[in-house]
Amino acid sequence: MTETEPPGAEPRTPPTLPLDTTALQRRVLRTLFCTQILGGLAVGIGIAVGALLIEDMTGSSTYAGLAQSLFVGGSALVVVPAVRITERYGRRGGLAFGYGCAVLGTLVVIAAVHLDNPLVAVVGYFLLGSASFAGLQSRYAAADLAPAARRGSHLAIVVWATTIGSVVGPSTAALAERAWTGWFGGPAYVGSMAAIGLLCLLTAAIIGLVLRPDPLLTAREISGETDAPRRSIADGYRTAKTNAAVRTGVIAAALGHFVMVGVMAMTALHIRHGMADPERALTVVGLILGLHIGAMYAFAPVFGRLIDRYGARPVLMAGTATLVAACVVSGSAPADDHVRVSLGLVLLGLGWSAMTVGSAALVTGAVTPANRPSTQGFSDLVMGLSAMGAGIASGPIVEYASYGMLCVCCAVVALLVFPSLMGRKAS
């Protein structure tokens, strides 16, 4: 990893690093793989019950959209303090902080359920979104020490690991509810929140204890950037303004996430409105969202390989087309046609996966290790805020128009990605 010194130059003192960074990267990937399973399980449960919980407390589909929007909003705004923590303590500190905030969020939601206070529940769901942020940031941790030629594949391995937890997560929500009620009794949704809190606590503990040495700090030592000034989200914004590849990655991540959250946020309610049995509806929602979340992560290694071979732009263009197809299938499916709804949600997950892996590889490869946390953090901030807007807008659109109209609007948003992808410097 060292460069040849020019003639006459004073020899540099090599950084204190593990001699085999390949072995270190394997350890990083193993650790992140395990934590993504646990974190994905927690996020999957949260996605399955969020809109249902808020609608039950408020009686309104409009307010139900707040659950998903605040879930992603929390994942966005926690970026600001998390970037500062990551700059100082590395990936280990930033990821543990995100999962720790999610644990606090579950406690707040449990209190809100007992108090029957939807406002407190909204605050709790905002904090709970930090688990989603930590899961997304893990893909960057996987890329810190990855060889440039395999960055997409290494990043995708960690994204893929989320499949295991996320597919099982929505279906686990009903199981957690039944187990908690049988053991302790109490109101609905407490069992789901308790399960999320325990999973996030365990994930934070593993990251804090096992993710050593830190991949980001090690990458900075290798690049000789240990003394580089610490950067903030504002620095990431300035980088995106001047770097075309970063700007393209940010736009693709933001609009792709907007479409995915916009459609997914209201699908649970769309399904339940076509079913008379609320308990059976939760089971069906869990199965369909499990398929959707599985598609979000299971094919990430395929997209990673394609990125390594052909570049990010073709994958991002394919992802955009898939998102449009998903909106067409989902929007034309009746509430009781669970097969077509499932197909639409699977396509939605595949499109999101291509957009997320492609944009992350594009942003990471365009900056040095010293600039990564601020630039990646800015990308996730914009990504989260755009999705929060989708969640807020989705409820009123479904309430006053229809689920089909929501899908039409999201398809239009997906098409807005194409202009930035057509630029020469986009890949």
pLDDT at 17 over 70: no
- Mean per-residue pLDDT for 354-382? 93
Confidence check: pLDDT of 87 > 80: yes
pLDDT at position 67, please? Answer: 64
User: What type of residue sits at position 251?
Assistant: I
Summarize the chain as % helix, strand, coil (round to 5): 80, 0, 20
Q: Residue 7 pLDDT > 60, yes or no?
A: no
Whether 5 maps to a domain, the answer reads no
267 assigned to some structural domain: yes
Tell me the pLDDT of the chain averaged across its residues: 85
Q: For 152-202, give the secondary structure using H, E and C.
A: HHHHHHHHHHHHHHHHHHHHHHHHHHHHHHHHCCCCCCHHHHHHHHHHHHH
As a whole number of angstroms, the distance between CA 405 and CA 342 comes to 18
pLDDT of residue 20: 67
Q: Residue 358 belongs to what domain range? A: 22-421
DSSP SS3 for 214: coil
- Of 314, 26, 61, 260, the closest CA to residue 150 belongs to 26
Look at 238 and 4; give whichever has higher pLDDT. Answer: 238
Mean pLDDT across the stretch 245-262?
Answer: 94
- Note the pLDDT of residue 9: 41
Instruction: State the pLDDT confidence band at 281, using cuts at 50, 70 and 90.
Output: confident
Residue 426 is assigned to a structural domain of this protein = no
pLDDT at 279 (0 to 100): 63
Q: What is the pLDDT of residue 60?
A: 72
Highest mean pLDDT: which range of 144-148, 229-233, 421-425: 144-148
Q: What is the pLDDT of residues 207-220, one digit of tens each?
A: 999 998 999 999 99
Residue 123 located in a structural domain: yes
236 lies in some domain: yes
Q: Is the pLDDT of residue 3 over 60?
A: no
In a domain, 8, yes or no: no
Residue 168 domain-assigned? yes
**180-209 per-position pLDDT tens digit:** 877 887 788 898 999 999 999 999 999 999
Could you tell me the two tokens for 397? 């659109």
Which pLDDT does position 424 carry in this prediction?
A: 53
Any idea what the CATH number is for the domain that residue 398 is in?
A: 1.20.1250.20
Give the residue-averaged pLDDT of 302-315.
94
151, 226, 425 from 375: Cα distances, Å: 17, 17, 17
Distance of alpha carbon 77 from alpha carbon 100, whole angstroms:
15
Q: How many domains does the chain have?
A: 1
Region 63-68 average pLDDT: 64
Does residue 363 belong to any structural domain of this protein? yes
With helix as H, strand as E and coil as C, how does 397-410 read? Answer: HHHHCCHHHHHHHH
- Nearest residue to 152 via CA among 353, 295, 357: 357
